[in-house]
Amino acid sequence: MRFAVGMPDAMLLVARNLSRTFRGRGLLRRGGDVRALRQVSFSLAKNQTLGIVGESGSGKSTLLRAILRLTPYDSGSLAFDGAEIATLSGAALKDLRRRVQPVFQDPYATFNPRFSIGSSIALGFELLGEHRRQDIREEVRRLLDDVGLDPDLERTLPHELSGGQRQRAAIARALAVRPDLLLLDEPTSALDVSVQAQVLNLFKDLRRRYGFSLILVTHDLPVVGFMCDHLLVMKSGEVVERGATANVIGNPVSAYTRALIRSAPEVSGKKTQPVARQ
Amino acid sequence: MTDHGHAGEGLLEVEGLTIVLRHRHRPPATIARDVSLRVNAGEIVGLIGESGSGKTMTAKSLIGLLPDRMEVVSGHARFRGRDLLHGGDPARVRGRDIALIPQDALHALNPVKTIGWQVGEPLQVHGGLRQRRIATVVGDLLERVHIPDARRRAVDYPHQFSGGMQQRALTAMALSMEPPLILADEPTTALDVTIQAEIIDLIGELRDATGASFLFISHDLALVSSFCDRIYVMYAGEIVESGTRDAIFSHTRHPYTRALIGAAPRLAGNPERLPTIPGRIPQPHEEIRGCRFRERCPEAGAACGEAPRLDTADGDHAFRCWYA
Amino acid sequence: MIRWLNWRRYGLVTVTLPVVALVFLAAALAPVIAPYDPFELDVLVMLQGPGADHLLGTDELGRDILSRVIHASRVSIVVGLVAVAIGASGGVLIGVLAAHFGGAVDSVLMRFMEIVFCFPAILLAVILMANLGTSVLNAMLAIGIIFIPGFARLTRAVAQTVQRQPFLEAAICLGVGPLRLVTREILPNVIGPVLVEAAVAFSYAVLLESALSFLGLGAQPPEPSWGNMINTGRGFIDQAPWISLAPGAALFVTVFSFNLLGDGLRDVLDPRLHD
Amino acid sequence: MLALVFWRLASFIPTLIVASAILFVAVNVVPGSAALSALGIHATPQALKRFEHQHGLDRPLAVQYVEWAGKALQGDFGTSFQNAVPVGPEVRKRIPVTLQLAGMAFVVAIVLAIPLGVLAGFRHQTGADGVVTTLATLFGSTPNFWLATLLIWFFSLQLGWLPTGGYIGFAEDPAGNLERMLLPCIALGVVSSGLLIRIMRTAVIEVMSSNFIETARSKGVGDLRLVSFHVLRNALIPFFTVSAVEFGFLVGSVVIIEDVFRIPGIGSLVLVGIINRDYPVLLAAAMTVTVIVLVVNLIVDLAAQVIDPRQVRTGHGS
């Protein structure tokens, strides 16, 4: 199913038959191989939002790390704005680093514990190199305000903030370099429901304001239902289903997607159905 | 069904329970305040709250597992009419009368002991069973929680089990003394959603088979909406609303509960923006005059300067709000 | 804007710092505060017990023990400082390199460090001293070399932990270059544990130097060092136990307070611990 | 599991080679001094040359090393420069003495460390913890040669309870042997226990903070059972791994303690080799001490892997 309509040049990210196998370790190496990605294909148009859903071991994190070029892939192609990610170097790699920004699951661990929040966010502006030193502080404060944090929090250390505040700060840091694509790795699964709602709304607001594309990796189908136009369901390294979110959820084709939908808890008093027992 | 001989009275009755955290340099902080709840025989009761709401400590206080600097300063907790908090050795109650299914299955299991040994440990501690008898019982327990090839896998170590299987083993462990009450502390939080659904299903099945009651502690309102008979919602150390599942979800009274239900995204039909609760949960040491939700409440009015009591409206449905 | 210290947890440091400062002060001002010339012989007061004239008594040649103990602190302090400097700079460099490059570089470097680390330190020091020649300078060198593997292991372990942290990946994804990654993200997190280790290593260096001097392989008589004074005192332990007791006590107090300082630093330098 | 043991054993060979090479280089780091010290400072240059040639000291260091290592593998450590006696038998005679001393001292250290460490860790952040931690730092900060000196002064000279030193074989006179070993073992063991107590304490604190401790408590497990079934075994895994390094330190300290107590073990042989510049003796003695340490490390490593079920290969699909 092709869901990325539009001109080919409007494609921000295209994956074709992407594969990655982790070799098992050990002397005899019998059967230890894990095929994290098997022939994964999808594309993401500019200004689109894509949710990648899967449970542990589905390969969704490996895919995300491949896009960030934190891990290589064995075969297939993965192109960002027409350039193969694996072959980027020098200025082109620097460009990728700026244009694609992650927001990770555990907001605490993504901050260097020795630096203040403001200083961690300022780093992005320094790397961008478009601001004079004395202006950076003002930019940091403006950005903190944008993500709904008190600008005076710039001086606090990561451990002094709450989980929701840290995740907002992490978003501010990612936005400092004005990325074209934001990769969110379970960005709210460590947060309470009420804080999750705030952060998810924030993503929507910021997207309108900053105009970035977005890939959201999660195990939580309702979050994708709220956030994303398109959906990719992964299981054991394979794409089992993809399409417009409303279509997939309303009319799932694969048994696994149906199981995921059945298991997803929703406030309604409806009973969750267990999938067939192993 | 377990017959406990106190007709009309709950299996577990908690009344006015208040837990404080003592500080060396600061005045004590109130972790749970005037908490009252009841679990009837054969019921699955949900205790819901976001982090810091005091739900876990409320449950832990019942079996004497509060951390060092926390203590119960007032209130009662009666189990089958017997006082749990004052006098009596909590170690004698634990595992035998009230068992715990902990969260984070992998870390909740001792890595150097076999699954079977750990599942059978309550029998070693409480029961006067012979070694061979214990092995048989453990095999039965593991089968009951649907661990495939149960008898053979009893000699495996925790790391050889998958997350779902570990959680099943912990459930078997809680069942071993056939306790009338089982506290389940976010038992599915670390699991994939499909596995989570399996464990929830298992709990329902075990309740039907053994007649045991469950106090299911969770941060996930959506999750408990599917299977709990009655639900208590906690906010900042207080119970703000309680009632049957239907009452809580179909006739929601408290603004916090309503906000919490609205804040969870749905599979489909979501609004453009999720309704949110402004601000953040007050810290236990913060002094708040009046209703603890007032600052964040869209419906707050003049009366909220005075703390509302937990009022029972119709039958079992209670809420802590002047305007509900 | 790095925040290093968490002064809410300074208890142990405030207790031990004065003692440590006192030891350093004694070493720096030895000629001023020592009541006697440490080399001055006085046959009239040989093996005299502690008293008003000689607070800690005299040795077999009538030299003032207190003055010798004060002067001996210089050897210990200098050896400790230089040895720790050698060990820490060498070890941190190797550790960061190993963690940064990984793969074969890491394997070879760390395997080698591992083997040296397993070596009984004193044995290695004794052999090195015997062959380099017995002098204070060589003691610093030998002890410093022995410290390298410990610092290297520690640095590599911390650096590797840091490298696995999401904040490092966040920095990489921002486009932070390799050099800046090491200096901004890794080193600041390495320095805390290295400082703690340095305090403990200092106390260990003082111990090792004394052990070498005790065996006659460190500072050479008549130059006083706590080790050779204890050794000398052994011969007169029955008549004049103070000859061994005084330098031993000085050595013990120094080592003890530096160990405590290490503990205190551990508390103070951890950004995550708070009351 | 078996593969793990196999690899650990296989990697012991390069370790041994590197370790012996380091020793060889350390001993021979100053060229020519052997002949000088063997023949005295008045020896003629020709005599020195002849001595060096005779003992093969004029060849490249690598060649000398390979030859020495080859012979050492067959138990031949050459002959002493000093008195032309074969070194091997002398070393062999002394090995049991040092092993007894180090072993007993390590037992003293462990017997102190495990209960005190468990007590401190179990009662973390209480008065008992503070006392034990301070005690551990006190022990670890004591110079063992000074402690040895004090022990001799007090127990041997003041009280006259124990001999000041010397050695009698256990087989000859068990009581006399133990009498003479007691003070050296205490001097070595007490100092070593300082670090070991802290290691045990840290390990216990780590285990106590694990979730499975609360699980055990929730089952109604009491303190005694908790410590013996849940805490101890989990804590002993890291404890033994780390304590192997401390054992290396202890064996190194044997050089000093044997000197203080005049015990004819390997340690004092090292000093004899150094004082006489008798390189074959020094090398053989130092190498023996090193091998003892490495072997103990190996055993501890293997033991830690055996008692840790997580090292066992997963039998069933999980």
Cβ–Cβ contact B283 with D under 8 A:
no
Q: What is the mean pLDDT of residues D156-173?
A: 85
Cβ–Cβ contact D41 with A under 8 A:
no
| Count of CB pairs separated by less than 8 Å, A with B | 131
Return the structure tokens found at C12: 């142990």
Question: Does C1 contact A116 at a Cβ distance shorter than 8 Å?
Answer: yes
Q: Please name the member of D14, D137, D293 whose beta carbon is closest to the beta carbon of C256.
A: D137
Determine the pLDDT at residue A25.
58
To probe the interface with B, which of A231, A234, A272, A273 has the most B CB atoms within 10 Å?
A272
Mean pLDDT of chain A: 87
For A244-259, the pLDDT digits (tens) are 999 999 999 999 999 9
d(CA A253, CA A259): 11
d(CA C220, CA C39): 13
Determine the pLDDT at residue B189.
85
Determine the pLDDT at residue C1.
41
User: Rounded to a whole number, what is the distance in Å from the CA of B175 to chain D's nearest CA?
Assistant: 10
Report the sign of the C-alpha dihedral through residues D169, D171, D173, D176, in that order: positive
* Lowest model confidence (mean pLDDT) among A26-35, B87-96, C172-181: A26-35
Cβ–Cβ contact D127 with B under 8 A:
no
Task: Let me know how long chain A is.
Answer: 278
Cβ neighbours of D153 in C, within 8 Å: 237-238, 241, 244
**At how many degrees (to 10) do helices C136-164 and C65-101 cross?**
40
Q: Which subunits count as partners of chain D given 3+ CB pairs below 8 Å?
A: A, B, C
Closest by CA position to A66, among listed A19, A12, A10, A3: A19
Cβ–Cβ contact D3 with A under 8 A:
yes
Determine the pLDDT at residue B233.
95
Confidence of residue A272 (pLDDT cuts 50, 70, 90): very low
Question: Does D310 contact B159 at a Cβ distance shorter than 8 Å?
Answer: yes
Return the structure tokens found at C138: 């060589």
Which residue did the predictor score with more confidence, A192 or D39? A192
**CB-count burial class (<10 Å; 0-12, 13-18, 19+) for C51:** exposed
Cβ–Cβ contact B162 with D under 8 A:
yes
Cβ neighbours of C127 in D, within 8 Å: 23, 26-27, 270, 274, 282, 286
Mean pLDDT of chain B: 88
For D61-77, the pLDDT digits (tens) are 888 888 888 888 888 88
Q: What is the mean pLDDT of residues B16-36?
A: 90
Task: Let me know how long chain B is.
Answer: 324
Task: Give chain A's radius of gyration (CA, Å).
Answer: 19
Cβ neighbours of C271 in A, within 8 Å: 113-114, 157, 159
> Residues with Cβ < 8 Å from D68, sequence gap 6 or more?
D24, D78, D283
User: Rounded to a whole number, what is the distance in Å from the CA of C175 to chain A's nearest CA?
Assistant: 5
Cβ neighbours of C11 in D, within 8 Å: none
For C89-115, the pLDDT digits (tens) are 999 999 998 988 888 888 888 888 888
Q: What is the mean pLDDT of residues B26-42?
A: 91
Task: Let me know how long chain D is.
Answer: 318
Determine the pLDDT at residue D32.
57
Question: Does D225 contact B125 at a Cβ distance shorter than 8 Å?
Answer: yes
Cβ–Cβ contact B76 with A under 8 A:
no
Q: Which subunits count as partners of chain C given 3+ CB pairs below 8 Å?
A: A, D
d(CA D244, CA D242): 5
> Residues with Cβ < 8 Å from B218, sequence gap 6 or more?
B46, B47, B48, B186, B189, B224
* DSSP track, D198-259: HHHHHHHHHHHTSHHHHHHHHTT--HHHIIIIIIHHHHHHHHHHHHHHHHHHHHHHHHHHHH
Determine the pLDDT at residue B31.
93
Q: Please name the member of B109, B121, B157 whose beta carbon is closest to the beta carbon of D221.
A: B121
Return the structure tokens found at C263: 């503990």
For A92-129, the pLDDT digits (tens) are 998 999 999 999 888 888 899 889 999 999 999 998 88
Confidence of residue D108 (pLDDT cuts 50, 70, 90): very high
- Work out whether strand B181-185 and strand B98-101 pair parallel, antiparallel, or are unpaired: parallel
> Residues with Cβ < 8 Å from D153, sequence gap 6 or more?
C237, C238, C241, C244
Determine the pLDDT at residue C11.
65
Cβ–Cβ contact B94 with D under 8 A:
yes
Q: Please name the member of D211, D220, D315 whose beta carbon is closest to the beta carbon of B125.
A: D220
Determine the pLDDT at residue D18.
87
Question: Does A113 contact C169 at a Cβ distance shorter than 8 Å?
Answer: no
Closest by CA position to D109, among listed D239, D9, D22: D239
Residue B14 DSSP code: E
- The answer for B 253-312 residues in CB contact with A (under 8 A) is 259-261, 263-268, 270, 272-277, 280-281
Contact indicator for D267, C93 with CB cutoff of 8 Å: no
What are the helix (H) ranges across chain B?
55-62, 90-93, 115-126, 131-144, 150-153, 163-175, 193-210, 221-224, 245-250, 255-263
Cβ neighbours of B22 in D, within 8 Å: none
Question: Does D18 contact C122 at a Cβ distance shorter than 8 Å?
Answer: no
Mean pLDDT of chain C: 84
| Count of CB pairs separated by less than 8 Å, B with D | 89
For D112-140, the pLDDT digits (tens) are 999 999 999 999 888 888 899 989 999 99
Q: Please report where in the chains the tokens 């076999």 appear, as a residue.
A: B114
Cβ neighbours of A159 in C, within 8 Å: 271-272, 274
d(CA D101, CA D96): 8
Q: How many CA atoms lie within 13 A of C191 on its CB side?
A: 15
For C158-212, the pLDDT digits (tens) are 998 888 888 998 999 998 888 888 888 888 888 889 998 999 899 999 999 999 8
Determine the pLDDT at residue C10.
60
Q: Please name the member of B92, B160, B170 whose beta carbon is closest to the beta carbon of D318.
A: B160
Cβ neighbours of A116 in C, within 8 Å: 1, 3
For A77-100, the pLDDT digits (tens) are 999 998 999 998 888 998 999 999
Q: What is the mean pLDDT of residues D260-276?
A: 88
User: Rounded to a whole number, what is the distance in Å from the CA of D3 to chain A's nearest CA?
Assistant: 7
Determine the pLDDT at residue C27.
86
d(CA C102, CA C112): 14
d(CA D218, CA D223): 12
Question: Does C169 contact A112 at a Cβ distance shorter than 8 Å?
Answer: no
d(CA A40, CA A238): 6
Question: Does B220 contact A193 at a Cβ distance shorter than 8 Å?
Answer: yes
- Work out whether strand A49-53 and strand A75-80 pair parallel, antiparallel, or are unpaired: unpaired
Q: In D299-313, which positions are buried (b, 16+ CB within 10 angstroms) versus exposed (e)?
A: ebbeebbeebbeeee
Question: Does A28 contact D3 at a Cβ distance shorter than 8 Å?
Answer: yes
- The answer for D 4-23 residues in CB contact with A (under 8 A) is 6-7
Contact indicator for B15, B75 with CB cutoff of 8 Å: yes
**Three-state SS string across C78-117, please?**
HHHHHHHHHHHHHHHHHHHHHHHHCHHHHHHHHHHHHHHH
Closest by CA position to C254, among listed C85, C69, C87, C83: C69
Cβ neighbours of C172 in A, within 8 Å: 70, 97
pLDDT at B258 over 60: yes
Q: What is the mean pLDDT of residues D248-258?
A: 88
d(CA B216, CA B214): 6
**CB-count burial class (<10 Å; 0-12, 13-18, 19+) for D231:** buried
Task: Tell me the percentage of chain D whose pLDDT exceeds 90.
Answer: 33
Question: Does B102 contact D214 at a Cβ distance shorter than 8 Å?
Answer: yes
Question: Does B112 contact D214 at a Cβ distance shorter than 8 Å?
Answer: no
C→D contacts (Cβ < 8 Å), by residue, are: 111-112, 114-124, 126-128, 130-133, 203, 207, 210-211, 214-215, 217, 227, 230-231, 233-234, 237-238, 241, 244-245, 248, 251-252, 255-256, 259-260, 263
Task: Tell me the percentage of chain B whose pLDDT exceeds 70.
Answer: 97
Cβ neighbours of C171 in A, within 8 Å: 112, 123
Q: Which subunits count as partners of chain B given 3+ CB pairs below 8 Å?
A: A, D
Return the structure tokens found at D308: 């840790």
Question: Does A55 contact B222 at a Cβ distance shorter than 8 Å?
Answer: no
Question: Does A194 contact B267 at a Cβ distance shorter than 8 Å?
Answer: no
> Residues with Cβ < 8 Å from A85, sequence gap 6 or more?
A66, A67, A69, A78, A79, A96
Cβ neighbours of C188 in A, within 8 Å: 112, 114-115
Confidence of residue C9 (pLDDT cuts 50, 70, 90): low
Q: What is the mean pLDDT of residues B94-104?
A: 90
pLDDT at D282 over 70: yes
pLDDT at C5 over 70: no
Question: Does A246 contact B266 at a Cβ distance shorter than 8 Å?
Answer: no
Confidence of residue A171 (pLDDT cuts 50, 70, 90): very high
d(CA A80, CA A70): 14
Nearest CA in chain D to A29: D3
Nearest CA in chain A to D1: A26
For D177-220, the pLDDT digits (tens) are 888 899 999 999 999 999 999 999 999 999 999 999 999 999 98
Determine the pLDDT at residue D125.
80
Closest by CA position to D218, among listed B104, B184, B36: B184
Question: Does A267 contact B222 at a Cβ distance shorter than 8 Å?
Answer: yes
d(CA B82, CA D4): 55
Question: Does D146 contact C230 at a Cβ distance shorter than 8 Å?
Answer: yes
Long-range contacts of D110-114 (CB under 8 A, 24+ apart): D110/D193, D110/D196, D110/D243, D112/D139, D112/D189, D112/D190, D112/D193, D112/D196, D112/D197, D113/D193, D113/D196, D113/D197, D113/D199, D113/D200, D113/D243, D114/D200, D114/D239
